[in-house]
Amino acid sequence: MKEKIITYLEEKGKSSVDDLAVSLDMAGAKKFPHLIKAISSLESKGKLRFEQDGTISLRKKIKKEEQVTVQGVFRANKAGFGFVTVDEAEEDLFVGRGDVGHAIDGDTVEVVIKKVPNRLKGTAAEARVVSILERSIKTVVGRFILDDDKPKYAGYIKSKNQKISQKIYIKKQPILLDGTEIIKVAIDKYPSRHHDYFVAHLLDIVGHEGDAGIDVLEVFESMDIVSAFPEDVMAEANQVPDKPSEKDYQGRLDLREELTFTIDGADAKDLDDAVHIKRLDNGHFELGVHIADVSYYVKEGSALNREALARGTSVYVTDRVVPMLPERLSNGICSLNPNLDRLTQSAIMEIDRQGKVVRYQIRPSVIKTVFRMTYDNVNKMLAGDQELMETYQPILASVRYMASLHHILEKMREKRGALNFDTSEAKILVNDKGVPQDIILRQRGLAERMIESFMLAANECVAEHFARKNLPFIYRIHEEPKAEKLQKFIDYAGVFGVKIRGTATKITQEALQDFMVTIKNQPGAEVLSMMLLRSMQQARYSEHNHGHYGLAADYYTHFTSPIRRYPDLLVHRLIREYDQVTAEKQEHFSQLIPEIAKETSSLERRAIDAERTVEAMKKAEYMEAFVGQEFEGVVASVVKFGMFIELPNTIEGLIHITNLPEYYHFNERTLSLQGEKTGKVFRIGQPIRVKLIKADKETGDIDFEYLPSDFDVIEKNSSSKTSKKRGSRRSSDKSSKKAKGQLSAFSSKDKPKGKKPFYKKVAKKGGQHGKGSGKGRRAK
């Protein structure tokens, strides 16, 4: 049979499985499975491959001397294909489903370049995995399932990681498992051409199905995000004193008489930044940004430092945080609690009326904050709340100066080209058992924005200081967007009738600012803004200063959150060490920083993945109570297998193309779907009515069904292009007006009992290319 298949493909080049079955007389219920088994065997041996269109063909033998191989990190897609990142600055290599070669997400692999990219056609380079150099997944967490199919094993676990489709069989051990356990295992054997499953042995029982909070713990454990600190780390933390001594003040700038205070969220416990502000005689402002001096307690070479670097960042999810440092430090001596002496690193800047820093000093210091302010109270003070203004009279003038300086800094950043993405962010409210009760949009007022402005100013000031000294340093960089991604966005904006000045290879931030002003308050504006954000490169850490494109800043670093991010802690250490610069120190840090930048960038991505996974899981869990109910949303994205719909509370779900009432054609250029018979069109940003048909907490998947409504847009044929555009625009305008007036996801009679409605209309949380500059969980 295998020889017949090979002979047939040698003659035909490629074939669908159905055509092959007919040609080889292997169609029918009895014969067809034998054909599939033979095809599978040939594929596993590398003799044939599946093409992207579903056909099969023989692999071409390439002479060894003609093969071009490169190494990179493989990123899997749950559909079976993947991409290999060779260099952050270059486009990823596409790896087809038949070329993955048993690589798993995160593996370091060697690949053969099969096809070079075609810039004119917009096609990516293609590659085939030829060897796996290092496995990324060494431990896995999942629910244990009893199974008798393979008697030599106790059973198997199915990983929560949707990019791992194979079963993970567990070796038998003395401990008896009953199938309710969530377990952690170590991988002994990986899938290969000989077997399509993992083999592992038991490491630990994480918990049991039904335990409170086990779902989030399972996600953390599966990503090696561990809450508990090692004993030697806790021993060091316990040796840290409760308060500074007089010896600790030596060599520090004493700022305890300054009117300094913190402004944070009401539930914040680790207060790592404080501010003071003055109006100088020359009309300038003096802004002091004071950050907890964590590096004074976390020394290089210590167990605390080793663990902080291994974690890279604190991880924040719905109802808990996995901290980078033990609470004794983060919530104790390093937290800038009111009326207590605290050691800090301070950036004190004199800023003129145009927002330019004309003088500064960066010094170790000691401060004593007078108040622990919340964003809510400061916003109320700025809005004129008399009671709060009287309560906090000593800092009332400071708060007003802060608002004035913020507007100056904001205007300065806007003038130089900083991009301000207005995106919504959900806040999931859970009960004491971790069960979601409500989903609302985070509020972001003037107080939040002005603290962000001050943190940005400090980060830029510190980065420029070290860049001009030409010392080894760690920067937070955000490179220019890649031309290919930007061109796709420009093309799509054109479909909306919005022209963008410039080209993909030469476009200014000012042109993108004009675009965002043009679409403001228009139908689909938020979706278009998100599409622009997705066309940007991902910010990362680097030993080289490439500036920050989103902020239009020539110099940028992370200085303001050393309790929560290791790069900030390192910056503080560099400030201290470079007080006396030596050749030995420069050599030491020039060797150390590149690896730290690479590692912390990777750990930041892991934290983001964990946060997104938990958020998707909790959103799906919340929506389980609403299956069968109808909603109004907007089309957030369109793909060839369907479209994703976003509800007003940021819940997003899929309408699969098979759940549409007719065959729909996907237009990649316009990112739209059009019905073959009716001409009905679905585009990004278009209002739509849907019915919830599935919400799966385990996978985080939410599925909708399309419902006909007045929102629908019909384009009968291409001959009446002008009338179609006009009709489409009228329909969209009408729909968007209706949508704006109906943010409610439910009618009153549909609201489930015992649950609050999730369509509260509250202010959106935005930000300049991110969620804050050190004040929020994730930084710019």
The answer to whether residue 624 is domain-embedded is no
Which pLDDT belongs to residue 754? 40
pLDDT score at 763 = 31
- Of 157, 182, 211, the last residue of a domain is 211
512 & 399 share domain: no
CATH number at residue 28: 1.10.10
Comparing C-alpha atoms, which of 357, 346, 555, 561 is closest to residue 469? 555
One domain, residues 307 and 365:
yes
438 domain residue, yes or no: yes
The pLDDT, as a whole number, for residue 396 is: 97
Report the number of distinct structural domains present in the chain.
6
479 SS3 class: coil
Residue 563: its pLDDT value, please?
96
Tokens found for residue 742 = 């109906």
Q: Are residues 468 and 495 in the same domain?
A: no
388 and 247, same domain (yes or no): yes
Q: CATH number, domain at 728?
A: 2.40.50.140
Give the domain extent around 362.
231-479+540-614
**760 Rama sector, left if φ>0, alpha if ψ -120 to 50, beta otherwise:** beta
pLDDT at 690: 96
Burial per residue of 233-252, b for 16 or more beta-carbon CB atoms within 10 angstroms, e otherwise: bbebbeebeeebeeebbeeb
**Which pLDDT does position 716 carry in this prediction?**
61
Rounded Cα distance, 169 and 772, in Å: 44
User: Nearest 5°: CA angle at 143, between 139 and 148?
Assistant: 100
What is residue 475's predicted lDDT score, i.e. its pLDDT? 98
What gap in Å lies between CA 82 and CA 169, rounded to an integer? 25
CA angle 494, 497, 499 (to 5 degrees): 60
Pick out the chain residues at pLDDT < 50: 62, 64-65, 718-780
Evaluate whether 67 touches 112 at the Cβ level (below 8 Å).
Answer: yes
- Cα 230 to chain centroid distance, Å, stands at 28
CA distance 69 to 400: 61
Identify the pLDDT of residue 54.
67
pLDDT of residue 591: 96
Continuous segment of H or E residues that includes residue 333: none
Q: Are residues 546 and 522 in the same domain?
A: no
Any domain includes 764: no
For residue 713, the model assigns a pLDDT of 80
Q: How far, CA to CA in Å, does 195 sit from each of 99, 106, 232, 544? A: 17, 21, 42, 45
Neighbouring residues of 640: CB distance < 8 A, sequence distance ≥ 6: 657, 666, 668
Q: Are residues 646 and 713 in the same domain?
A: yes
Q: Are residues 156 and 85 in the same domain?
A: no
Question: What's the distance, Cα to Cα, between the start and end of the chain in Å?
Answer: 58
Backbone angles phi, psi at 569, to 5 degrees: -60, -40
| CA atoms 71, 72, 76, 79: torsion sign | negative
Do 400 and 334 share a domain, yes or no? yes
- CB contact at 8 A, 291 and 345: yes
Q: For 352-405, write each residue's pLDDT tens digit.
A: 999 999 999 999 999 999 999 999 999 999 999 999 999 999 999 999 999 999
Measured in whole angstroms, the distance separating CA 76 from the mean position of its chain's CA atoms is 16
pLDDT of the residue at 69: 82
Query: Are 545 and 525 in a shared domain?
Result: no
| pLDDT value, residue 524 | 66
Per the domain annotation, does 188 fall within a domain?
yes
